[in-house]
Chain A
Amino acid sequence: MDLSKYRALFVTESREHLEGISRDLLALERTPGDRALLDNLFRHAHSLKGMAASMGYESFALLSHKLEDIADVARRGVSFDQQAVDLWLTGADALTDMVGLVESGREAEMAVPAPLMEQIVQKAAAMLQQAPPSANATQLRLTPVVAPPPRPPPPSTAEMPTPSRSETHTPPLLRAVPDPARTTDPSLPAVAPIPGARTQVMTAVAAPEVPNGTLTMPAVSAREWLLTVVIGEQSATPHVRAFLVHKRVSEKTEVVDVTPPIADVRRGVLPERTLRMRVKGALEPAALESLVRSIPDVATCTVAPLAPAAPTAPAPGAAARPAAPDAAAARTVRVRTELLDELIDSVGEIMLARARLRDVANRLDDADLIDLADEFTRLSQGLHERVMSARMTPVSLVTDRLPRVVRDLSKKRGRDVNFRIEGAGIELDRAVLDELHDPVLHLVRNAVDHAHEGNAERVAAGKSATMQLTLSATRDRDHVLIEVTDDGKGMDPRKLRQAAIAKGVISPEAAEAMTDQEALELVCRPGFSTAETVNDTSGRGVGMDAVRATVEHLGGQLLIVSTVGKGTTFTLRLPLTVAIIRVLLVSAGSAESVYALPLMRVDHAQDFDPGKVVLSQGMRLYPVGDGLAPLRDLGDLLGWPVKAQVTGGGVVVLERQYRPLAVRVDRILGQQEVVVKPLGEPLASVPFLSGSALLADGRPAYILDVAKLMVVAEASAAA
């Protein structure tokens, strides 16, 4: 679709919304909490988001989306305070600027200032914390310990004994389940590990006529069918699709059972994009199949008759338990973890070959070849997704043991804690999850150890003696957010500053200059915090530097929101997978060397203008957003000889924990998706390199470890 003809309309209609926003914000200052005004704000942001997304203006859409979030939470009764008004005003200004860029045909330059974005995200998160809790949360009450009920009630309302999986669903086709050799959770299938080999158990349905053993089916009567529907990859919201399929099928015939349960589907759980329904009734398989196939986005649909007596039918009540060990073993194949890694490597090579094929096809301008390249692209994307999903593992792999940890620790400390886990069924790449064991454990332990005021103090402060502690996993496009939230004492930026000065981590002047947000992040500084020193100052530094390092190593972010007396939320924002990343390619030092900067660490890139360089106290600074950021040459940072190139080139603004760094490069080559490969021996010892990748044209690119780079840049600037 040619979008350019919509540009003018986008500009005028966006302006109308932005004017409406300033009008409504001012009115809202006069009548705080006015529901109609909040509705208006939400609608303005929502419309802006929709238009921008349609035009492909990602930063614009993202910013309006986040503003929409704030308005949405406010509509649910959370106070839309002065800070929210200010952020909305600043956000609207940024959007207005971007509309101006669109108008002058410079939409490529659109970028949201990272600090603003961060503030808005944090504000939305903080407000969400005050919102009424979601009714879907699975309760896991720790004090007092409840005796196991004879049959677990549905997870939405269950008070389950510990330890327990907070969400269970059927292992679908080829979904990875946690490696039993790496966990001691008795509720997981016990399969003898192959000595010396790290393995991942994959479940597979052997033949279509065999019903999935974990579907909870009592005796099966005649004329029942197992209907398996896979939603196509083109669907952005597969679970809504599955919900629609279920609705259409249940209008025509009786659905006896469905996996995952429809309540889970509503919440977004649809492993492998697959819905399985046991149906009975009037419709013949052919009619059933054509009904389902008439629904958009259905990729495959199979109908298999169910035998009158299901040999593997589990006893009633087994619904909330994982498959029995023998049943699971019968339907799984063991795959070495290395094999999965090799598989993804091979797929990565195919993806690269695909990119080369497209290049060639475009160059030759041969219609047949371009068609073939498109077909190949589609097939390889499908293969990629399948291999990736075979590596996907539910978050429960790292959270299953936590209730026990919290229970033991809270007993030992004599502090009451109500620990809830939400979204344990959300899936992440196994490689990412493997790294999360320790960080998540740290966060949860720290909450009990340091956030909890003690029962008596809590009561004295007018709170319930029982601290609410929640770990929730949610999917956010191609990221997963893991949030650990407590309603404990919160962290006091003032005390953190004092502690950091006392420890010699920062100078009093530096502490003075810090924002409260920066002060909170002091807990992540190596050497800042040990349990003894920080306990008294309501900090909680135990291993926080390690937590942040791990999250950043995975290409994620750690965000902290804390209010004194109210509690703290740590958010780990993690990529779904680490094997394939989007990078910005640049060249520096020697023109032949191509470096790749992971896009999630890049704020924006622009042409270098030597006239904008500011010299201050011997440091070169470059304007970034409203402020100035230190300017460094990439070649210089890497220790390569610097070419005396005065003009031309580009500036890439890297961002880490609110401190931008402008890095000058010789050339900005563009964005690409690359498969990360580990470095070979000689290169593995080179600092700043985190991996390598083959580009579409066959050249190698070195992937830079941005976090390390920035630490060095900061250190050398300070020196």
Chain B
Amino acid sequence: MPTTVLIVDDAVFMRNMIKDIFAGGDFEIVGEASNGVEAVEKHRDLKPDLTTMDIVMPFKSGIEATKEILLENPKAVIVMCSALGQESLVMEAIEAGAADFIVKPFKGEDVLAVVRKVLGKA
């Protein structure tokens, strides 16, 4: 069964790029969210195997969304998509239980390597 993925990012550009990275692998994009509020709701509905989470988003940041999702579902696997300069936010997310992180600008193979390791499919 393919790994189900929820992509959270306010930029269509980034969402498309991440979708392309996952295309071809054993993944199925089950949903997209463009802000933290949507992310929490969609995660509840879709229960994806994996969520990629942008940090800076309108309405609710990726950090807050991550915390809420993990509170509801401690087994959620969330990979933070961060940029250089957001190190302390990423560490906050890790402390809250985020599984791992990738740093923009990222390469497809790096994203997949992190995701596979996190899912134990390396």
Report A-chain residues with C-beta under 8 Å of the C-beta of B114.
Answer: 296
Which of A39, A40, A50, A235 is within 8 Å of B83, CB to CB?
A: A50
Known: A47-B56, A243-B94, A266-B91. A56 touches B10 (CB 8 A): no
Report B-chain residues with C-beta under 8 Å of the C-beta of A239.
Answer: 87
Q: Is A548 close to B, CB under 8 A?
A: no
Number of interface residues of A (CB under 8 A): 34
Task: Find out whether the CB atom of B16 lies under 8 angstroms from the CB atom of A6.
Answer: yes
Q: Is A49 close to B, CB under 8 A?
A: yes
Q: Is B71 close to A, CB under 8 A?
A: no
Q: Is A31 close to B, CB under 8 A?
A: no
Report A-chain residues with C-beta under 8 Å of the C-beta of B16.
Answer: 6, 9
Question: In this complex, what residue of B is CB-closest to A45?
Answer: B56
Report B-chain residues with C-beta under 8 Å of the C-beta of A266.
Answer: 88, 91
Q: Is A671 close to B, CB under 8 A?
A: no
Task: Find out whether the CB atom of A296 lies under 8 angstroms from the CB atom of B113.
Answer: yes
Question: In this complex, what residue of A is CB-closest to B118?
Answer: A296
Chain B: minimal CB distance from A403 (Å): 28
Which of A1, A50, A235 is within 8 Å of B14, CB to CB?
A: A50
Task: Find out whether the CB atom of B11 lies under 8 angstroms from the CB atom of A237.
Answer: no
Q: Is A42 close to B, CB under 8 A?
A: yes
Q: Is B17 close to A, CB under 8 A?
A: yes
Q: Is B24 close to A, CB under 8 A?
A: no
Q: Is B95 close to A, CB under 8 A?
A: yes
Which of B82, B94, B107 is within 8 Å of A247, CB to CB?
A: B94
Which of B57, B90, B95, B122 is within 8 Å of A43, CB to CB?
A: B57
Task: Find out whether the CB atom of B13 lies under 8 angstroms from the CB atom of A294.
Answer: no
Task: Find out whether the CB atom of B83 lies under 8 angstroms from the CB atom of A240.
Answer: no
Complex formed: what's the CA distance from A110 to B11 in Å? 22
Residues 70-102 of B contacting A (Cβ, < 8 Å): 82-85, 87-88, 90-91, 94-95, 100-101
Most interface-central of B10, B56, B95 (chain A CB within 10 A): B56
Which of A9, A295, A477 is within 8 Å of B13, CB to CB?
A: A9
Report B-chain residues with C-beta under 8 Å of the C-beta of A240.
Answer: 87, 90-91, 94, 101
Q: Is A46 close to B, CB under 8 A?
A: yes
Report A-chain residues with C-beta under 8 Å of the C-beta of B44.
Answer: none
Question: In this complex, what residue of B is CB-closest to A51?
Answer: B13
Question: In this complex, what residue of B is CB-closest to A42?
Answer: B56
Report B-chain residues with C-beta under 8 Å of the C-beta of A55.
Answer: 105
Q: Is A268 close to B, CB under 8 A?
A: yes
Report B-chain residues with C-beta under 8 Å of the C-beta of A56.
Answer: 105
Complex formed: what's the CA distance from A235 to B113 in Å? 12
Indicate the size class of the contact surface on chain B.
35 or more
Task: Find out whether the CB atom of A294 lies under 8 angstroms from the CB atom of B117.
Answer: yes
Which of B57, B85, B120 is within 8 Å of A294, CB to CB?
A: B120
Report A-chain residues with C-beta under 8 Å of the C-beta of B110.
Answer: 234
Residue-wise, chain A 41-79 has the 8 Å CB interface mask toward B (1 for contact) of 011001101110111100000000100000000000000
Complex formed: what's the CA distance from A645 to B56 in Å? 53
Complex formed: what's the CA distance from A663 to B88 in Å? 43
Report B-chain residues with C-beta under 8 Å of the C-beta of A49.
Answer: 83
Q: Is A236 close to B, CB under 8 A?
A: yes
Task: Find out whether the CB atom of A54 lies under 8 angstroms from the CB atom of B14.
Answer: yes
Chain A: minimal CB distance from B80 (Å): 10
Question: In this complex, what residue of B is CB-closest to A49?
Answer: B83
Task: Find out whether the CB atom of B11 lies under 8 angstroms from the CB atom of A236.
Answer: no
Report B-chain residues with C-beta under 8 Å of the C-beta of A43.
Answer: 10, 56-58
Residue-wise, chain A 450-489 has the 8 Å CB interface mask toward B (1 for contact) of 0000000000000000000000000001000000000000
Task: Find out whether the CB atom of A247 lies under 8 angstroms from the CB atom of B95.
Answer: yes
Which of A6, A53, A65, A244 is within 8 Å of B94, CB to CB?
A: A244
Residue-wise, chain A 250-273 has the 8 Å CB interface mask toward B (1 for contact) of 000000000000000010100000
Chain B: minimal CB distance from A299 (Å): 13
Report B-chain residues with C-beta under 8 Å of the C-beta of A434.
Answer: none
Which of B17, B108, B120 is within 8 Å of A6, CB to CB?
A: B17
If A51-B14, A237-B84 are given as contacts, then 13 extra A-B residue pairs at C-beta distance below 8 Å, sorted by A number, are: A1-B21, A1-B108, A6-B16, A9-B13, A40-B58, A42-B56, A43-B58, A49-B83, A50-B83, A50-B104, A53-B83, A53-B104, A244-B100
The 8 A-B residue pairs whose C-beta atoms are closest, nearest first, are A54-B105, A53-B105, A296-B114, A46-B56, A236-B103, A296-B117, A13-B13, A9-B13
